[in-house]
Amino acid sequence: MMQLRDMGEQDCLAFLAGHTRGHLACLGEKYPYIVPIQHAYEKDRLFIFSMPGLKIDLLRAHSPACVQVEEFGENRTWKSVLVQGTYDELTDTPARHDERLHAWSLLQKQPFWWEPGSLALNSESEDNPAPSIFFDISIDVVSGRQVV
């Protein structure tokens, strides 16, 4: 018999550590805005890479954000973890240099870690590349559910 269960905080954090793809939602001007992301989890933060674009503009204007990560198993089982937190850009400044390098070091362990954040509808010219953006979402609230 299938059962829906809440996941404890430690189970949620372990799930985030073991998964790298999810969806990031932020506050749009009229509607919520949601996009696929790759992330790296460490110490109550999700680290994410992006190029400039709408999600970065929206997050800079309104820092609350939400990340959802899911997994579908066999026989209709699934897990879903929801992170509610705050956007913090790891700006390309001397003060945040080590944090940027650390975010890069965590993300680059994943294959194709720069996707989908680096894919653009209109690619930048090679003479004038767009700046790379690293940011984190603090984990203020984490919750999860699973069907077992």
**Average pLDDT per block of 10 residues along the chain, 148 residues long:** 95 96 96 96 94 95 98 94 98 91 88 64 55 94 97
End-to-end CA distance of the chain: 8
pLDDT for res 119: 56
Whether the CB-CB separation of 70 and 79 falls below 8 Å is answered with yes
* CA-based nearest residue to 114, from 66, 47, 41, 15: 47
**Ordered structural domains, the chain, with CATH:** 4-109+132-147 (2.30.110.10)
DSSP 126: T
Give, for 42, the enclosing helix (H) or strand (E).
strand 40-42
The helix, strand and coil proportions of the chain, stated in percent and rounded to the nearest 5, come to 20, 40, 40
